[in-house]
């Protein structure tokens, strides 16, 4: 699950990505204090990019700055997770539908090669390679759609997708391969409805897996919508 944009991130963006993933997968819990020095030491960076990253995450309402405590993880609400993934599914589905009308034989061949590489990386549990291939697969589809603004909005939303949480799950890997194949079949048939449905199913599956995991480890803020 990825967007069509992949600029080389700044160090503070890499730190923000790391912390964001830890928050989204529940490793960092709501209310947990985030000490700049500890994070900098863990990541092997100076305090400056950590401070910049936390400012970014504060703007995203993932962390809060509290008097006498500093930065803490913000409360997490199930509905927020479901809303983010619903928006991802809507945008990604529209991009897939448009791509089905524009896909060329060369693009179809490249997607098929990526799918074969993904299948092998998933079978071998080569997680970093799998994550990059998954990103590249979706990036090509989104570029094929020819809708730069929609792709940019999707890129913004997919920052909240904890990639390693998914890639380390064998069941997700199996579903990812089957979802991709359904999408490839829809693109080959130039069927926008089937392409939209396959892509939406891919994101819906991701939402359900993440919510179930967060349910099990009990991260939801007391009094939040359950």
The CATH number linked to 31 is 1.10.10.10
Residue 225 maps to a domain: no
Residue 189 maps to a domain: yes
The sign of the CA dihedral 185, 187, 193, 199 is: positive
Q: Which of 111, 118, 120 is nearest to 183 (CA)?
A: 111
Same domain assignment for residues 24 and 38: yes
Same domain assignment for residues 174 and 188: yes
Same domain assignment for residues 65 and 82: no
Residue 225 scores a pLDDT above 70 = no
Say which range, 1-5, 37-41, 56-60, 213-217, has the weakest mean pLDDT: 1-5
* pLDDT tens digit sequence for 55-83: 999 999 999 999 988 999 999 989 989 99
Residue 220 scores a pLDDT above 90 = no
Residue 194 scores a pLDDT above 80 = yes
Same domain assignment for residues 204 and 114: yes
pLDDT at 10: 85
Same domain assignment for residues 87 and 153: yes
Based on DSSP, count helices (H) and strands (E) in the chain, helices before strands: 10, 3
pLDDT at 9: 53
pLDDT at 69: 87
Report the pLDDT averaged over residues 3-12.
56
pTM of the model: 0.87
What is the rounded CA–CA span in Å between residue 98 and residue 90?
13
* pLDDT tens digit sequence for 158-176: 989 999 999 999 999 999 9
Instruction: For residue 164, give its domain range.
Output: 78-217
Average per-residue pLDDT in the chain?
A: 91
The tally of domains found in the chain comes to 2
Rg (CA), the chain: 18
**CB distance 189 to 52 below 8 Å:** no
| pLDDT confidence tier of residue 52, bands split at 50, 70 and 90 | very high
Same domain assignment for residues 69 and 133: no
DSSP 179-216: HHHHHHHHHHTT-HHHHHHHHHHHHHHHHHHHHHHHHH
What is the rounded CA–CA span in Å between residue 138 and residue 88?
12
Same domain assignment for residues 84 and 55: no
Same domain assignment for residues 45 and 129: no
Same domain assignment for residues 153 and 195: yes
Same domain assignment for residues 99 and 162: yes
**CB distance 45 to 28 below 8 Å:** no
Same domain assignment for residues 96 and 188: yes
């Amino acid at each position: 699950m990825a967007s069509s944009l992949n600029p080389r991130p700044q160090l503070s963006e890499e730190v923000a990505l790391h912390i964001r993933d830890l928050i989204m997968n529940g490793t960092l819990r709501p209310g947990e204090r985030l000490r700049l020095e500890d994070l900098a030491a863990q990541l092997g960076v100076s305090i400056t990019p950590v401070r910049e990253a936390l400012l970014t995450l504060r703007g995203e309402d993932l962390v809060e700055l509290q008097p006498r405590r500093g930065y803490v993880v913000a409360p997490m609400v199930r509905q927020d997770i479901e809303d983010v993934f619903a928006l991802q599914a809507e945008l990604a589905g529209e991009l897939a539908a448009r791509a089905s009308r524009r896909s060329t034989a060369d693009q179809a061949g490249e997607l098929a090669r990526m799918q074969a590489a993904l299948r092998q990386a998933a079978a071998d549990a080569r997680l970093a390679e799998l994550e990059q291939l998954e990103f590249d697969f979706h990036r090509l589809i989104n570029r094929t759609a020819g809708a730069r603004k929609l792709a940019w909005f999707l890129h913004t939303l997919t920052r909240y997708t904890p990639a390693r949480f998914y890639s380390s799950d064998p069941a997700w890997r199996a579903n990812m391969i089957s979802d991709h194949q359904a999408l490839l079949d829809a693109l080959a048939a130039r069927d926008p409805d089937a392409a939209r449905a396959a892509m939406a199913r891919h994101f819906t599956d991701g939402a359900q897996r993440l919510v179930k995991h967060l349910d099990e480890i009990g991260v939801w803020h007391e009094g939040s919508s359950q």
